[in-house]
Amino acid sequence: MEHHEIYIDGNWVPALKGAYRSIINPYNQEIIAEVSEADRGDTKKAINAARKAFDQGEWSGVSATKRGKMVYELGDLIEKNRSQLAEMETLNTGKTYTESLWDMDDIAGIFRYYGGLADKIGGEVIQSPNPNSHSRLEREPVGVVGLICPWNYPLLQAAWKIAPSLAAGCTMVIKPSELTPLSTLAFTKLTEEIGFPHGVINTVTGPGESVGAELAESLDVDMISFTGGVVTGKKIMQAAAGNVKKIALELGGKNPHILFAESDWETAVDFIMNGVFFHAGQICSAGTRVMLEASIHDRVVALLADRIKKIKLGSGMEEGTQMGPLISEAQLLKVEEHVNLAVREGAKLVCGGKRPTDKSLKKGFFYEPTLLTDCHPGMSIVREEVFGPVIHIEQFETEDDVIQHANDTIYGLSAGFWSNDPERIERVSKALRFGTVWVNDFNIYFTQAPWGGYKQSGVGRELGRIGLEEYTEIKHVYQNFKPQPLQWFGSKS
Ligand code: NAD
């Protein structure tokens, strides 16, 4: 059995209390590794190491071009170790190996993108009222950052944070989810091949309530970048108030996927399937909330039901598997509860709605791909994030109604709609209050375009140029070339 330690100041060390957590494969509940379970004491040590490295300019003092080259090289290392990392991700999360390979390719691209951007961080000359002065804006690294990550895309979500913060010149403490730390630990090991100064990268595994909370509360951490649930995001916001630290929050979503009758709705069905059953619906941007114009409702439901019944469940490592298990027993119970409540509230169960009976899936946290119809905006399933393989369908009659209902949510991460009417496309894209709006597509994101939510889906943006700027402070430098004696309080007054 593999044992993993935590990484502080360039050394692999056991947690101070010597505790370990068993990491399991959600496909069969087998223990796949033992990982050091850190707590607040270990986290403080990691923060101190990052603080010292930042304050001594160990990393921010390196030229941006050299920094960028080192970040870029991480992309090459990910590519070189692509298959081992992907297998590890699949064993730890249950997602299919193909999906994990896509994640690794994405991650390599993210390090290369931000590596290339490192020496393109620019400033600005601004006009001042004094002609004998020079006034400019500079971007500087924000300092020590705490990077708190979720379990659904363990290394991908970490890369969204690590790559831009390294490129900006920050030092960091990375905290993977306690359920899925393996790929982040393997990545940390790879960073040693590049030779980052000690203290720049620290990785601490352990519970959110101690390791995560310590990062959020610490007066020595300048910024928290967090991806996870809204409830945790709110706790982090409060904890961050202690030193008014900067926060970037990527939280949950309840993402409408709307089909207008004039659209190519048969193609849209492929995108609905992809938007929900990818990684068993455990995606912040999952399009579980499907809204169909009444005249196409029955035909789309029939098509979906037919497709859903054919989804092949199994081990993520087996060829042909289309959907793996959920991450944990707790997540399985949560999804079950959502579906049962929806049925009690009047939803009609078309297919799924239970754990599979197949013997080979008995040990895993599997839930059948599920289709519910007859849902309406007042129901809990329409209002709350499910994070599982469940489509729930609402019917609508008019454009105004569907926009009003789609926007009637505390979330605002992403939305998509299908239409072939150019004027409608303009109107609806403008009216939807979400951080990303897809037109005739769904769930496509890429490194160059910013990602983040309106409303309770988050604060700030990841990816794109702005995803790097989040890790910087803006400094205004004003230089007076010819200071003149002052009248007011001056020596001659
Ligand atoms: P979570 O909020 O339970 O945990 C996320 C991380 O926060 C974990 O590392 C956890 O240990 C840590 N944490 C828990 N309590 C903490 C505390 N009090 N202080 C500091 N850290 C703490 O979320 P999860 O269950 O791991 O992930 C699922 C959620 O993440 C879903 O709501 C999903 O929508 C969201 N998510 C959002 C995006 C996005 O881009 N918006 C991407 C992926 C996941």
Residue 262 a catalytic site member? no
DSSP state letter for 481 = S
372, 390 Cβ separation under 8 angstroms: yes
Same domain, 190 and 275: no
**Closest residue by Cα to residue 89 from 76, 77, 105, 73:** 105
485: DSSP letter: P
**Angle in degrees, CA 413, 417, 420, rounded to 5:** 150
Q: Which of 23, 39, 148, 217 to mutate to test the pocket of ligand 1 (most atoms within 8 A of CB)?
A: 148
| Residue 385 alpha carbon to ligand 1 centre in Å | 13
Average pLDDT across the chain, whole number? 97
Which atom of ligand 1 lies closest to the CA of 228? 30
Q: Which two tokens stand for residue 196?
A: 């980052």
Residue 217 sits at the vertex; the CA angle it makes with 282 and 7, to the nearest 5 degrees, is: 70
Res 492 pLDDT > 70? no
The answer to whether residues 244 and 288 belong to one domain is no
Where does the pLDDT of residue 493 fall: very low under 50, low under 70, confident under 90, or very high at 90 and above? Answer: low
In the residue annotation, 214 being an active-site residue is answered as: no
Query: For residues 259 and 418, what is the distance between their CA atoms, to the nearest angstrom?
Result: 5
Q: Tokens at residue 138, please?
A: 């500079």
In DSSP notation, 197-232 reads: PTTSEEE--S-IIIIIHHHHH-TT--EEEEES-HHH
Above 70 in pLDDT, residue 53? yes
- Examine the domain organization and report whether 16 and 48 are in the same domain: yes
User: In ligand 1, which atom is closest to the CA atom of 148?
Assistant: 9
Structural domain range at position 261: 256-439
Residue 79 belongs to some domain of the structure: yes
Same domain for 148 and 60?
yes
Residue 224: which residues within 8 A CB-CB, separation 6 or more? 145, 146, 147, 148, 215, 216, 236, 240, 245, 246, 247, 248
pTM: 0.97
Tell me: do 247 and 349 sit in the same domain.
Answer: no
Would you say residue 176 lies in a domain?
yes
Do 149 and 195 sit in the same domain of this protein?
A: yes
Rounded to whole angstroms, the Cα distance separating 365 from 329 reads 6
Instruction: Average the pLDDT over 281-302 and give the result.
Output: 98
Ligand 1 center to 400 CA (angstroms) = 34
Q: What percent of the chain has pLDDT over 90?
A: 98
β-strands 20-24, 31-36 pairing: antiparallel
227 lies in the same domain as 181: yes
Round to the nearest angstrom and report the end-to-end CA distance of the chain. Answer: 80
| DSSP-based three-state secondary structure for 372 | strand
pLDDT higher than 60, residue 61: yes
Please give the Cα distance from 402 to 290 (Å, whole number).
Answer: 11
Q: Can you tell me the distance from the alpha carbon of 98 to that of 360, in angstroms, rounded to the nearest whole number?
A: 21
Average pLDDT over residues 408-432: 98
pLDDT band at 487 (very low <50, low <70, confident <90, very high): confident
Residue 397 lies in a domain: yes
Residues 9-28, mean pLDDT to the nearest whole number: 98
Over residues 429-451, mean pLDDT: 98
Catalytic residue among 149, 170, 284, 375: 284
* Phi, psi angle pair for 123, to nearest 5°: -120, -155
Task: Using the mean position of ligand 1's atoms as its centre, give its distance from the Cα of residue 35 in Å.
Answer: 19
Gap between the Cα atoms of 361 and 321, Å rounded: 12
374 and 473 share one domain: no
Q: Give residue-wise pLDDT tens across range 308-365.
A: 999 999 999 999 999 999 999 999 999 999 999 999 999 999 999 999 999 999 999 9
Is residue 223 situated within a structural domain? yes
197 within a domain of the structure (yes/no)? yes
**Protein residues with CB under 6 Å of any ligand 1 atom:** 148-152, 157, 175, 177-178, 208-209, 212-213, 216, 227-229, 232, 235-236, 250-253, 284, 385, 387, 413, 453, 458
Q: What is the distance in A from the centroid of ligand 1 to the CA of 442?
A: 23
Least confident of 16-20, 189-193, 249-253, 488-492: 488-492
pLDDT digits (tens, 9 = 90+) for 205-229: 999 999 999 999 999 999 999 999 9
One domain, residues 152 and 268 = no
Same domain assignment for residues 310 and 413: yes
Domain match, 202 and 326 both = no
Domain identity same for 215 and 351: no
**Tokens linked to 333:** 């119970």
Q: How many domains does the chain have?
A: 2
Domain of residue 98, CATH code: 3.40.605.10
Does residue 452 fall inside a structural domain?
A: no
- Predicted pLDDT of residue 95: 98
